[in-house]
Amino acid sequence: MQCNTPVASEVLNVVLAANIAPDRQDDTQLLQAINTLIANGGSGGNGGNGGGSGAEIGSVTAFAMPTPPEGWLVCDGSAVSRTDYADLYAVIGTVWGHGDQIATFNLPDLRGEFVRGFDAGRGVDADREFGTKQEDAFRSHNHSLAYSYNLTDSALGGYADHNPNRNGGEPNSQLSESFTEGGSETRPRNIAMTYAIKAFYPVAASV
């Protein structure tokens, strides 16, 4: 990309320093570049190796669109190359799966999942290893069941008797009822978004 003035040349240098591909139609790139450089301590991300977002390799973010931007991979449990994504592999290893045991490793699979902060010894979610899955559950609680019976027995002087047929007594009158309602899971209100993991820093296009 050719610049006609010294000012335009300086603007281009700032954009390139933030590892953003120059686009003449995008008049927000200078501001994007400045914010990126500030967020990354003066470099384009990861010591100047690119990015434009400031996110660290291995960080997970929720996106408000189905497909994340370049440099991010959807957290769908896929097995990906240990070579192609060497930086990511160096950070997360095989915590989320060993892939084929040789050339691949797995991404976290966060589709349809709620993420819970790792307990790390606090004791709220005790005896839990990092990266493990937890099935749904209810906290232990009690229910009260109300029922009644009405039984008189002349041989007992009108007192209640638990045997419904002794000495001509009337059968017990009991009321019990059970029913099922609800869906297939227990959940809070929620919104579906796309979880993605920072896998690499895009390289700016040559100009």
> Comparing 20-34, 58-72, 89-103, 148-162, which segment has the lowest mean pLDDT?
148-162
pLDDT on residue 206: 45
pLDDT on residue 58: 95
Over the chain, what is the mean pLDDT? Answer: 79
CA 103 to chain centre: 26
What is the three-class DSSP state of 7?
helix
pLDDT digits (tens, 9 = 90+) for 65-77: 999 988 899 999 9
pLDDT on residue 52: 41
Which sequence spans correspond to the domains of the chain? 10-21+28-42, 58-130+191-206
Q: Is the dihedral of CA 47, 105, 62, 20 positive or negative?
A: positive
> Is 202's pLDDT higher than 90?
no
pLDDT on residue 106: 98
> Is 151's pLDDT higher than 60?
no
> Is 194's pLDDT higher than 80?
yes
Q: What is the dihedral of CA 31, 36, 38, 39, to 10 degrees?
A: 140
> Is 43's pLDDT higher than 80?
no
Other Cβ atoms less than 10 A from the Cβ of 82: the count is 18
> Is 41's pLDDT higher than 50?
yes
